[in-house]
Amino acid sequence: MSLFPVGVWDTAHALTMSGAGQGILLLAPVVVGAVLLMFWIGHQWLERSGVNHPAASAALVTSTAMATPVVAMFLAPEVMPMPGGTTVNTAFLTGVIATLGMGASVLAQRPPDRWQPGVLPALAVVAVLLTALPGLSEMVRAHAADERSRAQITSFDQTIAVLDHPDWSLAQVHEVHEGLRLTYRGPEGTPLHVLTWNEERSTKAGIHAGCDFPGTWCRDLEGMVVVHHSGGHPSELRTHLDDGTVASLVPRPGTAADLVDASRALRPERPGERAALVESVTT
């Protein structure tokens, strides 16, 4: 059952990409018929198994099989408890949620002479679990992002340039082409990127790399290079760290930033400081 919505989505997506979008309308009666067939099969099986409230239970199981793939694919794509991709995990999540829901109904059964909650416990459990999936997906995504940031910092084989200024706090890290970029935020949330060049770019390209490109001009200033890509504010300031590594300050395009003043707070990382950098971007 759980694979049916996945198949419907894949078919609809294929029709849309192929230009046969109107073919989706032809899927409507097929989908309705398939859902009714799943409900009927579930009802017959549950009734013959002696389950109380077979119609309500079959409706709940069918609804869970239809809703779980939609939630998992669109609202909780990061929840992958099993290896094997989306299809396997969708089937697994649907089975787990439906089983836990029906298990709750079994545990909530009361003596025959008392009021029976029916499938209400199962409905509550299924609703809670489906509602929790997006939040769980966000937690998984955040954890993966933290681990990626940790790996990018710890595995960088050059001295990392650090902006040591009380007005700027480290917020993000990204591994970019030919370097590592630390993003700092100012008091008003304005970003300032500190890009540490890797060894190849620092030694081969040099601090004046790209200065001969059309529309780009550079000027030397106190051992640093200020790069302009237009007639407005400087778009980059480059300098050397003590070991020859090139580090550059890159503001948000179109914003006025005192790069020269900020460069005075630029320094190479201290021994053992990478743990603090990791903590700054993962908390």
Query: CB neighbours (10 Å) of residue 72?
Result: 28
Q: Which residue has the tokens 């707070």?
A: 265
**pLDDT, average across residues 137-163:** 93
Dihedral sign computed on CA atoms, order 178, 183, 184, 187? positive
Worst-scoring range by mean pLDDT, 29-33, 68-72, 125-129, 197-201? 29-33
C-alpha distances (whole Å) from 273 to each of 51, 81, 166 are 62, 34, 17
Domain residues of the chain, as ranges? 3-153, 159-282
Whole-angstrom distance, CA of residue 34 vs CA of residue 128:
26
Segment 20-41, tens digit of pLDDT: 555 556 666 777 777 788 888 8
Record the pTM: 0.71
Name the more confident of 14 and 47.
Answer: 47
254 Rama sector, left if φ>0, alpha if ψ -120 to 50, beta otherwise: left
Q: Which residue has the tokens 């008003």?
A: 188
Q: Which of 63, 35, 33, 57 is nearest to 45 (CA)?
A: 57
Residue 250 has a pLDDT of: 92
Mean pLDDT computed over every residue of the chain:
85
Q: Indicate whether 272 pLDDT > 90.
A: yes
Q: Which residue has the tokens 């398939």?
A: 34
What is Dmax (Cα atoms) for the chain? 91
Strands 224-228 and 169-176, by their bridges, are unpaired
C-alpha distances (whole Å) from 8 to each of 23, 61, 98, 232, 239 are 12, 18, 20, 53, 56
Residue 23 has a pLDDT of: 58
Q: Indicate whether 185 pLDDT > 60.
A: yes
**Which one is the CATH code of 159-282: 3.40.50, 3.40.1000, 1.10.287, 1.10.3470?**
3.40.1000
**pLDDT, average across residues 90-113:** 85
pLDDT-derived band at 130 (thresholds 50, 70, 90) equals very high
**Percent of the chain whose predicted confidence (pLDDT) is above 90:** 37
**pLDDT, average across residues 150-160:** 92
Q: Indicate whether 140 pLDDT > 60.
A: yes
Strands 266-268 and 217-221, by their bridges, are unpaired
SS3 19: coil
Residue 4 has a pLDDT of: 67
pLDDT-derived band at 163 (thresholds 50, 70, 90) equals very high
Residue 26 has a pLDDT of: 66
Worst-scoring range by mean pLDDT, 11-25, 42-56, 133-147? 11-25
Residue 233 has a pLDDT of: 76
Taking the CA atoms of the chain, what radius of gyration do you get in angstroms?
29
Q: Indicate whether 225 pLDDT > 70.
A: yes
Residue 22 has a pLDDT of: 59
* Both tokens assigned to 67: 């809703």
Worst-scoring range by mean pLDDT, 65-69, 201-205, 236-240, 261-265? 201-205
SS3 195: strand
Q: Indicate whether 154 pLDDT > 90.
A: yes
Whole-angstrom distance, CA of residue 56 vs CA of residue 116:
13
Helix ranges, the chain (H): 3-17, 24-48, 54-70, 85-107, 120-155, 199-200, 259-263, 274-282
